[in-house]
């Protein structure tokens, strides 16, 4: 199959192109598109066959449910058994935006879309290209991140093309995404709403709107026996090809340790990638050194993380040493992704 890549200007959307993309989805096909978090791989969420094509293209396990993307709040009620009381307040505060809510599904949503679950994850993205595509496609787009299963999520159309070229008919290229980490997922079917995946919308922000919010205990500890409630969080996601280790602690000590480990690895004949910050990169003398951004600029760190992991894959480094980024606001989300990519290998100095 030939894959077309069409540039779309989000400030001046070409409606003809969007209508064509919508037609592909209405006919059961797949279209990759930008959202504010990461690129998604979209299909008609209300069609079992269309959802099935997503799993095939990504090589995704079929028990891992998809997020249904909508463009109007009322469309949530059309696919839910009932709309939980907190959903309206959360939507007023954060939709359109990087928040996914889990509710009980009704029979309109096929089990192929929800990986066999009786609940459905729903999100209204804020990227105008995504919203226009949803409208042109009939209102409900099932979309996981548009990467091959097990690769970092795509933050640029080029990443999507590398993973899915020849497997899908169309990629809408809206340039680099704004946030760079997948949406926060909150489960509203629990007595106390529970965060299943941390993201740009933090627990503090959610608590301000709906009161008590818990975090899935299965997310927190690496050695926990508890399975994460979001099936996708149990897979080794976001994994670069190289062995990744995080070095945590006082800045001076971290830099010294990374320099020491890099020298040792290079002496063994290995190629090393280093993820530092604007403040530290000049102090690394060996290896392929990249800055993820300024340490105080949490948004830049989130935005650059997946691209850097992919770049190291392309360079074919054997080992990556990264500083740790437990920054105040979205640090929990950044570290959740980095720790998974590192298989929880952390060295504290
Ligand atoms: O930002 C995002 O959410 C992006 C963009 C494209 O919208 N999408 C995304 O989708 O990250 P995906 O498929 O890569 O991740 C969806 C996560 C998976 O971990 C999945 O297991 C979980 O959501 N999930 C989906 N439906 C669920 C449900 N009914 N119950 C529990 N977890 C669910
Ligand atoms: Mg994903």
The three-class DSSP label of residue 338 is helix
DSSP label at residue 105: B
- Ligand 2 centroid to Cα of residue 223, in Å, is 22
* DSSP category for residue 80: B
Out of 42-46, 87-91, 301-305, 336-340, pick the least confident.
Answer: 336-340
Neighbours of 44 (CB within 10 A): 25
What are the pLDDT digits (tens) for 245-266? Answer: 999 999 999 999 999 999 999 9
Ligand nearest to the CA of 179: 1
pTM reported for the whole predicted model: 0.95
Confidence of residue 292 (pLDDT cuts 50, 70, 90): very high
Instruction: List helix spans (H) across 156-277.
Output: 157-164, 203-210, 217-220, 251-267
Answer left, alpha or beta for residue 104, where phi above 0 means left and psi between -120 and 50 means alpha. Answer: beta
Instruction: Determine the Cα–Cα distance for residues 112 and 114; give it in Å rounded to an integer.
Output: 6
Q: Are 113 and 68 in contact (CB under 8 A)?
A: yes
Instruction: From 40, 303, 87, 77, select the one nearest 189 (Cα to Cα).
Output: 87
Ligand 1 first shell, C-beta below 6 A? 35, 37-38, 40, 64-67, 100, 102, 114, 117, 119-121, 123, 125, 143-145, 182-183, 185, 196, 229-233
- Number of Cβ within a 10 Å radius of residue 191: 7
Is the pLDDT confidence value at 222 over 60? no
Which residue's alpha carbon is nearest to atom 12 within ligand 1? 144
Work out the average pLDDT over 272-279. Answer: 98
Which one has a higher pLDDT value, 33 or 341? Answer: 33
Task: Supply the Cα-derived Rg of the chain in whole angstroms.
Answer: 20
Which single residue is written with the structure tokens 């509710």?
Answer: 103
Q: How much distance in Å is there from the Cα of 264 to the middle of ligand 2?
A: 34
Give CA–CA dist 171/194, Å, rounded: 34
Distance (Å) from CA 118 to ligand 1 centroid: 15
| Among the listed residues 187, 49, 44, 192, the one whose alpha carbon sits nearest the alpha carbon of residue 119 | 187
pLDDT at 224 over 60: no
């Amino acid at each position: 199959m030939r894959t077309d890549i069409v540039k779309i200007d989000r400030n001046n959307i070409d409606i003809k192109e969007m209508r064509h993309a919508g037609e592909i989805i209405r006919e059961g096909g797949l279209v990759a598109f930008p959202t504010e978090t990461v690129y998604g791989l979209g299909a008609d969420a209300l069609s079992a066959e269309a959802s099935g094509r997503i799993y095939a293209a990504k090589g995704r396990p079929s028990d891992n449910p998809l997020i249904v993307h909508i463009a109007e709040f009322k469309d949530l009620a059309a696919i839910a058994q009932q709309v939980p009381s907190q959903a309206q307040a959360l939507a007023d505060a954060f939709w359109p935006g990087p928040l996914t809510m889990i509710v009980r599904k009704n029979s309109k949503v096929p089990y192929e879309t929800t990986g066999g679950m009786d609940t459905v994850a729903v999100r209204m993205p804020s990227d105008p290209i995504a919203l226009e595509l949803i409208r042109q496609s009939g209102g409900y787009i099932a979309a996981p991140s548009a990467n091959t299963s097990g690769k970092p999520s795509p933050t640029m159309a080029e990443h999507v093309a590398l993973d899915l070229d020849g497997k899908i008919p169309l990629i809408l290229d809206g340039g680099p995404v704004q946030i760079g980490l997948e949406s926060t997922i909150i489960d509203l079917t629990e007595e106390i709403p529970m965060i299943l995946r941390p993201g740009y919308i933090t627990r503090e922000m959610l608590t301000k709107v709906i009161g008590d919010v818990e975090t899935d205990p299965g997310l927190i500890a690496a050695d926990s026996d508890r399975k994460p409630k979001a099936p996708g969080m149990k897979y080794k996601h976001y994994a670069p090809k190289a062995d990744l280790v995080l070095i945590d602690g006082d800045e001076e000590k971290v830099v010294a340790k990374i320099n020491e480990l890099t020298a040792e690895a290079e002496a063994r004949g290995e190629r090393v990638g280093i993820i530092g910050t604007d403040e530290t990169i000049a102090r690394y003398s060996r290896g392929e050194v990249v800055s993820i951004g300024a340490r105080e600029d949490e948004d830049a760190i989130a935005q650059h993380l997946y691209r850097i992991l992919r770049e190291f894959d392309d360079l074919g480094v054997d080992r990556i040493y990264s500083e740790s980024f437990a920054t105040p606001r979205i640090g929990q989300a950044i570290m959740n992704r980095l720790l998974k990519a590192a298989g929880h290998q952390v060295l504290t100095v």
